[in-house]
Structure 1
């Protein structure tokens, strides 16, 4: 999936590159002849821990300046073996804190340490995997409180960071993306009533969305098909 709207010889980083979606994104970028440099990071392959600021800061410090794309494919619905709650009585503060650490605080740390690495003279994109269930306006089923709230927090982090980054990087785009229900280990037990996309199908779709984004889209939330998702 060539990214034709990025600068020729663009530099990209994929965080969470060992997961189903992250590895598919990395695979597509790796096959793009326009990609000059690709850095892939994950807990499995690099001991990268998005919830540990020292880990995020260390890998960011080793990454070259002038990045054109940072794709954060980290996140989790099941954390430490605990799945989403079905009711209020199942809320566990420790589980909720771990969800927020992974799905919200970690991405904020990515923005803190990787956003300054973005190219200034050209368009740079920072994309985060969010989830439609993080939409407050689209929530009609309830449940999954910790996961929903952590993704809603991520969406606010994306929105807020986009405002600040536009002052120093006026051509930058910070965006949240819903990948669809993707056939990964994370969704295996929670997607009975949804069509499951192949990871490569979702990855190509999201990269097509990214390829169409302009600075006017910064701070927005899109589905994998390119349609906006309400906050």
Structure 2
């Protein structure tokens, strides 16, 4: 039985991760904006929510957004706006960084800290362009995870701090953008992610993996 903290617990993937962990007997603490007022973009909210929590065997940051305030992913660099890009960074990069600032307290010495990222954040795997703000924010969170993993390894030598790509998941988050892309249900995505996390060791820290456990290029 593991003690698990899931942030973004009311979202499609977050809720499924809560259910999957609970189903196997884990003790789950879930926080979300809608359920607890947990706002990953607000430093005061993050500090207040995480104060006194931990340590956990597993911490999962499942917060994130693809479309914010009606701003759809850009099809071209000419469509970039400062506000849309700032909003993407606030939710998808700065928010996880604010949580990772508490990682020393939140995580057991041999625990797993996973941040949900996206394959489109891979610079090496980008061959079609577009989605500049979202891609850039996810590339930034990958760097944040990698850097935090280096620091945390000094005190948590048995821990794994990783970025995870859950695949294309059919949720309200993605429904307008699925098109012909194959997708999986949140429950299936959660099962895949659990299998990947179950196989992680300290040797995997600071790396980026997809839903099948395959490493994704930075």
Q: TM-score, normalised by structure 2?
A: 0.98
After superposition, give the CA deviation of every residue in 1:164-209 in whole Å (9 maximum; x if it has no partner).
0000110111010101000001111111121110100000001100
Aligned residues of 1:125 and 1:173 also touching (Cα < 8 A): yes
List aligned pairs for 1:42-53, cutoff 5 A.
42-53=32-43
Matched, 1:207 2:197: no
| Residue number among 14, 17, 21 corresponding to 1:22 in the alignment | 14
Q: What is residue 83 of structure 1 aligned with on the other side?
A: 72
Write the deviation string for residues 23-72 of structure 1: whole angstroms up to 9, x where unpaired: 00000011112x2x311000000000001111111111141x32110011
- Give, in whole Å, the separation in 2 of the partners of 1:221 and 1:143: 21
The reply to whether residue 140 of structure 1 matches residue 130 of structure 2 is no
Aligned mates of 2:133, 2:104 — CA distance in 1: 27
* 8 Å Cα contact 1:77/1:84 also seen in 2: yes
Residue 92 of structure 2 corresponds to 103
Q: Distance in 2 between matches of 1:62 and 1:54?
A: 14
For residue 56 of structure 1, the aligned residue among 31, 46, 51 is 46
Match of 1:11 in 2: 3
Checking the alignment, whether the CA contact within 8 Å between 1:60 and 1:114 is kept in structure 2 is: no
C-alpha distance in structure 1 between counterparts of 2:137 and 2:129, whole Å: 14
CA distance in structure 1 between the partners assigned to 2:114 and 2:174 by the alignment: 21
CA RMSD of aligned residues (A): 0.9
SS in 2 for 1:164: helix
Residue matched to 2:149:
162
Deviation at 1:124, TM superposition (A): 0.4
Gap runs ≥5 in structure 2: none
TM-score by length of 1: 0.92
Q: 1:183 aligns with which of 170, 184, 190?
A: 170
Whole-Å separation in 2 of the counterparts to 1:92 and 1:207: 36
Distance 1:43 1:113 in 2: 18
Please state how far the C-alpha of 1:212 moved relative to its aligned partner: 0.3
Paired residues of 1:134 and 1:150 also in contact (CA < 8 A): yes
Query: 2:138 maps to which residue?
Result: 151
- Structure 1 portions without partners, runs of 5+: 1-8
